[in-house]
Amino acid sequence: MKDKVRLAVIFGGRSGEHEVSLMSARSVLDALDQSKYHITEIGITKEGLWLSGPDALRAFETERLDDLVPVAFLPEPGLAVLYERRQNLLNPIADVDVVFPVLHGTFGEDGTLQGLLEMADMPYVGAGVLASAVTMDKGVFKALMIGSHIPVVPGITINSSELRQDLNGVLDRVEALGAYPFFTKPANLGSSVGISKCTNRSDLLEGLMEAAGYDRRIVIEVGVNAREIEVSVMGNDQPEASVPGEIIPGDEFYTYAAKYLDDTSLLKIPADIDEITASEIRRWAVEAYQAADGAGLARVDFLLDADTGKVYLNEINAIPGFTKISMYPKLWEASGIGYAELLSRLIDYAFERYEQKSGLIRTYGAEA
């Protein structure tokens, strides 16, 4: 065991994407090379309780958590240990070399977990605090893309309090953007949770209220007759982009059910687009990734206007879905990198990023 990398895989979480995380974690755990990694499974309940134990993921999948024990990391450098918590006492139960967060949405993909791991000075897979937070908030991310001269769909971001203060005023502001349909989205959520397509004022009202149930910030965008093109990106300072793929939704748009619960959507890899458009999309994917200070991995989603051929960057997913039908691993497979190799590379990038940061000066006046 001493020659194996001690890897902690974290899943679940306090998010509307809790169940998606469990599905992603199952695919990851099934594909990890057991000869290279000694794996500790850590699940986070919807209430935020950290639990671990033998076959913890199976316990979460079956909702039988009684045999798991509460655990925690301490936010102190030098203590790369998972502790069991019993009666206010901490007992070390597993040393950890690197953490693989397989958490989607809030309290996992948004920089909060990354902040804990930074405080603990532990290597981890994926983007850091800044990139995680920026790419998680669709409103802030849209502003960053505009500042980086990368095209995005027109829209506005509001706070849910505005709905209580001046609902009709918000509806009027949205309608001033253009013609229906509009899309309403929670700013800080993924997997199409809380997203609504609104074809009239009544739909818009319902969509805003639906989104407000998930987040205090809401993004509203003009609808585009779009093809959904996605690119996987991997790397740190010199990221590379996969071949583009296309989602052909089985619903009006790529809903939660279409992504995870049914087989009605089609993934077309590579996407049926011309070489110039494909090259442009891959270039913008890398530029957006770098503008947000991405690291490790991300899936970059685009909208290709079927009427005009114009390309819009839609969003970056810092911890994209890893299920067996998810685009991120499938795009890399089509680019010549299999699932197990992909996971190994992502873990290597975590160590590379950690080594880069370890050489930084932390105290003013200290010698390099």
pLDDT (tens digit per residue) in 80-130: 999 999 888 999 999 999 999 999 988 999 999 999 999 999 999 999 999
Looking at the predicted structure, is the pLDDT value of residue 368 above 70?
no
Stretch 329-349: mean pLDDT: 96
In 180-250, the DSSP E strands lie at: 182-186, 196-198, 217-222, 226-235, 240-241, 245-248
Residue type, 61: E
Token couple for 355: 């080594």
pLDDT given for residue 307 in this prediction: 92
**Could you write out the three-class secondary structure of 116-155?**
HHHHCCCCECCCCHHHHHHHHCHHHHHHHHHHCCCCCCCE
Q: Percentage of the chain surpassing pLDDT 90?
A: 84
Cα 91–chain centre separation: 32
- For 341, the enclosing helix (H) or strand (E) is helix 339-358
Tokens of 27: 């695919």
Element (DSSP H or E) covering residue 41: strand 37-44
Residue 266's DSSP bridge partners are 248
| 350-357 average pLDDT score | 96
Question: Which residues sit opposite 248 in a β-bridge?
Answer: 266
List the CATH code of the domain at 5-124. 3.40.50.20
Is pLDDT above 70 for 244?
yes
Q: What is the pLDDT of residue 251?
A: 57
Looking at the chain, the domain(s) classified CATH 3.30.470.20 span 145-149+225-356
User: According to the model, what pLDDT value does residue 62 have?
Assistant: 97
Degrees, nearest 5: CA angle 278-269-347: 90
pLDDT at 261: 52
Q: How confident is the model at residue 191 (pLDDT cuts 50, 70, 90)?
A: low
- Closest of 122, 132, 136, 133 to residue 350, by C-alpha: 122
- For the beta carbon of residue 214, count every other beta carbon within 10 angstroms: 21
What pLDDT does 263 receive?
Answer: 57
Q: What letter does residue 211 receive in the DSSP assignment? A: H
Instruction: Spell out the residues 6+ positions from residue 15 whose beta carbon is closer than 8 angstroms to its own.
Output: 21, 103, 104, 105, 106, 107, 108, 109, 189
Report the chain's mean pLDDT, rounded to a whole number.
92
With b for 16 or more beta-carbon neighbours within 10 A and e for fewer, the 315-332 pattern comes to bbbbbbbbbeebbbbbbb
Per-residue pLDDT reduced to its tens digit, 29-83: 999 999 999 999 999 999 999 999 999 999 999 999 999 999 999 999 999 999 9
Residues of the chain with CATH 3.30.1490.20: 154-222
Burial label for 116, CB within 10 Å (0-12, 13-18, 19+), is middle
Query: Looking at the domain 145-149+225-356, which fold is it?
Result: D-amino Acid Aminotransferase; Chain A, domain 1 (3.30.470)
Kindly state the average pLDDT of the residues 225-244: 97
Q: Please state, in angstroms and rounded to a whole number, the distance separating the CA atoms of residues 191 and 187.
A: 12
Assigned token pair, 173: 């502001």
Supply the DSSP symbol for 54: T
* pTM of the predicted structure, to 2 decimals: 0.89
pLDDT of 350 over the 60 cut: yes
Statement: 154-222 belongs to CATH 3.30.70.270:
no
CA 44 to chain CA centroid, nearest Å: 16
CATH 3.40.50.20 domain locations along the chain: 5-124
- How far is the C-alpha of 253 from the C-alpha of 73, rounded, in Å? 40
